[in-house]
Amino acid sequence: MPITEILARNAEMYAQETCLTEINLDLQESHNVTWLEYELIENSPAGEYRREMTWRVFDEKANRLANLLLKRGIKKGDKVAILLMNCLEWLPIYFGILKTGAIAVPLNFRYTAEEIKYCLDLSDTVALIFGPEFIGRVETIYNQIPKVKTLFYAGENRPSFAENYDRLTANCCSSAPHIKLTDQDDAVIYFSSGTTGFPKAILHTHQSLMSSCYTEIKHHAQKHEDNFLCIPPLYHTGAKMHWFGSLMSGSKAVLLRGVKPEWILKTVSEEKITIVWLLVPWAQDILDALDRGDLKLEDYELSQWRLMHIGAQPVPPSLIHRWKKYFPGHLYDTNYGLSEAIGPGCVHLGTENIHKVGAIGVPGNNWQVKIADENGCEVTRGQVGELVVKGPGVMKCYYNDPKSTAAVIKDGWLFTGDMARMDEEGFIYLVDRKKDVIISGGENLYPVQIEDFLRAHNAIKDVAVIGLPEKRLGEIAAAIIELKPGCHCTEEEIKSFCTPMPRYKRPRKIIFDKVPRNPTGKIEKPHLREKYGAISLVAAQTER
């Protein structure tokens, strides 16, 4: 069943019920303001803005866009890109594209003009819908993307090179177009995070999207009474696929624009949020604010908050132990996934397995998992190998890239590029990215293990471990450490803290700096290797 049918069902069953709420608690200071006007809530603190949408309006907006695209000659299989900040219109636009039988192509809002052009060219996009934050970037390239025949601008002060999306859709029919869709039809192209190079175009079918719906509702048991807080960017599979639980249950969700700890708790309290998906840095910031006394739990109504789950990157066990001290009644889940496997859920911890915190979990709903060697054969329990998954959410292919597709999909199994091990009970522990493994003096060092150890230090807010060139050992482990505000620490103190680790695992270089993360929370290690690797390479060559 195509996912658009779930939206149509909700529009009929829950027509007048709120499905989405957008909140911006600091509109004046935000650099990512959407184009639509915000309504100031009566009797609320100044600066608090809030908009709502019902399921019927959601479906009608999607239908209007679908009919506009069809009028413009966009047909089944064509690609339509979305370049917007998180906003109330994002998901109706996404579903409007799907209703035409076209393929939605969400773009990372951090992309430079050149990266936008690269992704539009790679995906053969024929139409682009963009917001005001991107006028400058699109203006730079719009005459260099000949395949893109249509540019719709969602905002005020329309640039001359684009058409007015809002005015055009308002004049279109709000009934669903008669386009037959099947599970095997192509639906979306997502782009890999680019943490290992230029992003790849990942093609998924409607079957993939529906498999994600079933996985999410199975793992987190969303009910119609739930309210999901969505903070991460909607262009990424993580945020959208977790929201699919709200779609399946016909329940509410809130799009919060901003990640300040006080904003998160305020929204949970005032919107009666029951489920929150966080990234590690945001959970860390909440805990640090509570530790400092900047936030006090008694100032908020949080009794309805039943589940907090985390994904998108390795989760330090120490973080969850701290979280449970402040929120002992919360259910907790870790979600592992990748865009090639339609986002989160191919492996998950499960709320019943809190005693196994540190593991990413067991195979998710309808997924198979194994830990394999380079030949695809399972390794012995406890040994490190590559995490390999198989299920209905595996991508169809890397679009127009059969060589790269063949390198990662073999006999239906997706080779994730993540190194992991499985314990005797069948729980999987993520060790590191295959490309991030450091080979030092013939020993394999797994940065995630070192990072988890260092995060237990009270002064450390975040840490990234990378390999740097070294004359004798080939590579050494370097720890880039971001300290908590107001904390001070020396290199000697860090090295002393590391003495319980085996000597070969201890970082040989300590660098105090900010740890860069992308919008989905992943550490940008290529940036760190580029920044510090060149210096280290020069030093290594000088020693020769």
HSE value, Cβ hemisphere, 13 Å, CA-based, for 113: 12
What's the pLDDT score for residue 31? Answer: 41
Residue that terminates a domain, selected from 240, 258, 276: 258
Average of per-residue pLDDT across 315-340: 91
Residues 52, 149, single domain; the answer is: yes
Q: Any idea which of 49-63, 87-101, 283-297, 493-507 has the lowest mean pLDDT?
A: 493-507
Q: Any idea which of 20-24, 116-120, 461-465, 519-523 has the lowest mean pLDDT?
A: 519-523
Residues 144, 95, single domain; the answer is: yes
- CA gap 447, 464 in Å, rounded: 8
The reply to whether 34 falls in a domain is: yes
CB 23 within 8 Å of CB 265: no
Q: What is the DSSP letter of 361?
A: B
Average of per-residue pLDDT across 525-539: 68
What's the pLDDT score for residue 345? Answer: 92
Residues 455, 376, single domain; the answer is: no
Residues 145, 247, single domain; the answer is: yes
pLDDT in tens, 191-205: 986 544 578 999 999
pLDDT of 217 higher than 50: yes
The reply to whether 267 falls in a domain is: no
Q: Any idea which of 45-54, 133-142, 328-337, 402-411 has the lowest mean pLDDT?
A: 45-54
What's the pLDDT score for residue 483? Answer: 93
Residues 446, 523, single domain; the answer is: yes
Host domain of residue 228: 4-258
Task: Please report, for residues 234, 335, 351, 373, 522, the alpha-carbon distance to residue 310 in angstroms, rounded to integers and kept in the order given.
Answer: 16, 6, 12, 28, 12
Return the structure tokens found at 452.
């988890």
Average of per-residue pLDDT across 379-385: 93
CB 284 within 8 Å of CB 255: no
Residue that terminates a domain, selected from 433, 468, 483: 433
Count: domains in the chain: 3
pLDDT of 29 higher than 70: no
The radius of gyration of the chain from alpha carbons, rounded to an integer in Å, stands at: 24
The reply to whether 15 falls in a domain is: yes
Burial 163-177 (b: 16+ CB within 10 A, else e): eebeeebeebeeebb
CATH number of the domain bearing residue 378: 2.30.38.10
What's the pLDDT score for residue 197? Answer: 55
Average of per-residue pLDDT across 51-72: 97
Angle between the 55-71 and 4-13 helix axes, to the nearest 10 degrees? 140
pLDDT in tens, 249-305: 999 999 998 889 999 999 999 999 999 999 888 898 899 999 999 999 999 999 999
Residues 415, 446, single domain; the answer is: no
CB 248 within 8 Å of CB 19: no
Amino acid at 466: I
Q: What percent of the chain has pLDDT over 90?
A: 70
The reply to whether 14 falls in a domain is: yes
The reply to whether 454 falls in a domain is: yes
The reply to whether 521 falls in a domain is: yes
Higher pLDDT: 234 or 523? It is 234
Average of per-residue pLDDT across 471-476: 74
Torsion of CA 68, 74, 79, 81, to 10 degrees: -30
What's the pLDDT score for residue 519? Answer: 67
What's the pLDDT score for residue 12? Answer: 98
Average of per-residue pLDDT across 151-155: 95
CATH number of the domain bearing residue 159: 3.40.50.12780
What's the pLDDT score for residue 36? Answer: 35
CA-closest candidate to residue 62, choices 85, 32, 35, 82: 82
Residues 367, 463, single domain; the answer is: no
pLDDT of 367 higher than 90: yes
pLDDT of 537 higher than 70: no
* Mean residue pLDDT across the chain: 89
Residues 464, 429, single domain; the answer is: no
Return the structure tokens found at 499.
């003495």
Average of per-residue pLDDT across 495-516: 90
The reply to whether 282 falls in a domain is: no
Amino acid at 533: G
The reply to whether 340 falls in a domain is: yes
Residues 332, 183, single domain; the answer is: no
pLDDT of 43 higher than 90: no
Average of per-residue pLDDT across 439-468: 84
Q: Three-state DSSP class for 380?
A: coil
Burial of 222 (0-12, 13-18, 19+ CB in 10 A): buried
Q: What percent of the chain has pLDDT over 70?
A: 91
CB 375 within 8 Å of CB 411: no
pLDDT of 439 higher than 80: no
Q: Three-state DSSP class for 126?
A: strand
Residues 325, 467, single domain; the answer is: no
Residues 491, 525, single domain; the answer is: yes
Residues 188, 313, single domain; the answer is: no
CATH number of the domain bearing residue 484: 3.30.300.30
Residue that terminates a domain, selected from 418, 433, 448: 433
